[in-house]
């Protein structure tokens, strides 16, 4: 990080940990062989990939055979949604197609790699979709609302583990338990598959696929100090859980995701996962302390002129995320950021336009005038109290200037 700037956009992306850089460099220099080759150079690369797969499995409480490497979270999410669609139609054929169109349940908080795929399914009349609205009292989807949305044709429920803008943790394990209690997980048609995109949770709170009770879990490396690739964790893929490839080629990743493996990036992802296993408790404690210090300093400095979005009495947040609005006309988030000389942050998801109110904040009941003024401040493992002091001063100067314009 530049000494002149303070980066508080870790929910958008994280830098590579030095040990991750070392692992990537080692693979680039010494494991350049094709992992499918039987000679020494190829087997060295294969060994690195196997080692990385084991670290990812340990991180999320899975078997090594449950881990499928992908280009990132978007591909992993697409793979799940298209697999659920194909699985439904295969099972529907066995039932003479009497069930109708497949039905997906999701929330109105999801990343575009879920939301836009399901919109496409609807537009092409491939599926029906229920978007369960988040509660304005808790900032999360309510379990009863999800269960009430289930139909005979429901094939997949997908809800993110934690929201990328508010940090609110969603009740995934409780949803999974209620679905299992319906008695439709085995034997009956259709089976309801369960997926969670854990991009924002991994590296910040414990994430275990068995505890969450899901069939699929999305892993995104660049959210926990790894490289910009990802993985999909699938419980016994192709056996206990349906998974169908969207690419066809040389048979890598057991043909679920063919293509010659990117050994250096996979090695880096494995190292990032290993660090999470070793040091999660320390990471979580540090980020929570810094986030609490940030919110305390903002409240001390701005008093009633600041409000925190996403802090709900009955909901928990991931430990690094603060969504804050500075109240008053002319204090739109994008205007504040454009004038900050030290703070690097965002008003919401990095892949969304940065000059409009966040749909996520509007969805949880934040008034538009407040949502327009929002900043998402997400701290990292190395963020210090001194950094917080610097950005609070920066914000104070900018807001005073904007109020006097």
Query: pLDDT tens across 247-272, in order?
Result: 999 999 999 999 999 999 999 999 99
Which of 357, 358, 202 lies closest to 277, judged by CA? 202
- Contact status, residue 322 vs residue 350, Cβ threshold 8 Å: no
Where residue 186 falls among pLDDT bands split at 50, 70, 90?
A: very low
Helix ranges, 195-262 (H): 209-212
Tell me the pLDDT tens digit for each residue of 11-25.
Answer: 999 999 999 999 999
Where residue 92 falls among pLDDT bands split at 50, 70, 90?
A: confident
CA dist 391 and 290 (Å) reads 13
Tell me the pLDDT tens digit for each residue of 40-65.
Answer: 999 999 999 999 999 999 999 999 99
CA dist 148 and 146 (Å) reads 5
Mean confidence (pLDDT) of the chain: 94
Catalytic residue among 155, 181, 316, 351: 351
pLDDT at 54: 98
Classified as helix, coil or strand, 197 is strand
Q: If you count them, how many residues does the chain have?
A: 405
pLDDT at 351: 54
pLDDT at 182: 85
pLDDT(98) > 70: no
The DSSP secondary structure of 80-107, one letter per residue, reads: HHHHHHHHHHHHHHHTTTTT-S-EEEEE
Q: What percent of the chain has pLDDT over 90?
A: 90
Q: At how many degrees (to 10) do helices 40-60 and 263-302 cross?
A: 30
Q: Beta strands of 331-373 (E only): which ranges?
A: 343-344
Delineate the domains of the chain, giving CATH numbers in brackets: 6-16+280-404 (3.90.1150.10)
Where residue 2 falls among pLDDT bands split at 50, 70, 90?
A: low
pLDDT at 350: 60
Classified as helix, coil or strand, 344 is strand
pLDDT(188) > 80: no
Q: Which of 262-266, 295-299, 323-327, 357-361 has the lowest mean pLDDT?
A: 357-361
Place of tokens 């085995």: 186
pLDDT at 190: 74
351 is catalytic: yes
Average pLDDT over residues 360-381: 96
pLDDT(289) > 70: yes
Residues 6 or more apart whose CB falls under 8 angstroms from that of 113 comprise 73, 74, 77, 78, 197
Average pLDDT over residues 374-386: 98
Where residue 353 falls among pLDDT bands split at 50, 70, 90?
A: low
CA dist 170 and 134 (Å) reads 10
Which of 209, 226, 233 lies closest to 79, judged by CA? 233
pLDDT(99) > 90: no
Q: What percent of the chain has pLDDT over 70?
A: 94
Model confidence, pTM: 0.95
Q: Which two tokens stand for residue 109?
A: 């908080």
Average pLDDT over residues 364-374: 96
pLDDT(199) > 70: yes
């Amino acid at each position: 990080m530049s000494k002149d700037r303070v980066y508080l956009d870790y929910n958008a992306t994280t830098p590579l940990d030095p040990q991750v850089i070392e692992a990537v460099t080692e693979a680039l220099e010494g494991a350049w062989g094709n992992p499918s080759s039987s000679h020494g150079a190829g087997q060295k690369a294969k060994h690195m990939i196997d080692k990385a797969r084991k670290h990812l499995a340990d991180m999320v409480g899975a078997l090594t055979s449950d881990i499928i490497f992908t280009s990132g979270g978007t591909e992993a999410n697409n793979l799940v949604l298209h697999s659920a669609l194909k699985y439904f139609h295969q099972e529907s054929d066995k039932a003479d197609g009497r069930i109708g169109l497949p039905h997906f349940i999701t929330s109105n908080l999801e990343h575009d790699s879920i939301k836009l795929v399901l919109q496409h399914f609807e537009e092409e009349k491939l599926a029906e979709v229920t978007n369960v609205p988040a509660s304005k009292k808790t900032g999360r989807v309510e379990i009863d609302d999800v269960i009430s949305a289930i139909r005979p044709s429901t094939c997949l429920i997908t809800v993110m583990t934690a929201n990328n803008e508010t940090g609110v943790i969603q009740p995934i394990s409780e949803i999974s338990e209620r679905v299992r209690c319906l008695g439709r997980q085995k034997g009956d048609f259709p089976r309801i598959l369960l997926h969670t995109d854990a991009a924002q949770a991994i590296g910040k709170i414990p994430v275990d696929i068995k505890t969450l009770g899901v069939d699929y879990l999305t892993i995104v490396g660049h959210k926990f100090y790894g490289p910009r690739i990802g993985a999909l964790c699938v419980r016994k893929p192709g056996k206990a859980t349906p998974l169908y490839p969207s690419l066809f080629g040389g048979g890598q990743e057991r043909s679920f995701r063919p293509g010659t493996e990117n050994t250096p990036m996979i090695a880096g992802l494995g190292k990032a996962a290993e660090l999470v296993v070793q040091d999660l408790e320390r990471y979580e404690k540090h980020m929570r302390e810094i986030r609490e210090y940030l919110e305390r300093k903002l409240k001390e400095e701005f008093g009633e002129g600041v409000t925190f979005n996403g802090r709900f009495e009955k909901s928990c947040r991931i430990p690094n995320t603060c969504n804050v609005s500075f109240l008053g006309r002319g204090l739109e988030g994008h205007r504040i950021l454009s004038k900050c000389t030290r703070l690097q942050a965002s008003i919401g998801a990095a892949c969304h336009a940065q000059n409009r109110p966040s749909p996520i904040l509007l969805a949880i009941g934040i008034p538009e005038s407040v949502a327009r003024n929002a900043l998402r401040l997400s701290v990292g493992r190395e963020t210090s109290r001194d950094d917080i002091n610097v950005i609070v001063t920066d914000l104070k100067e900018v807001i005073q200037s904007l109020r006097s314009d």
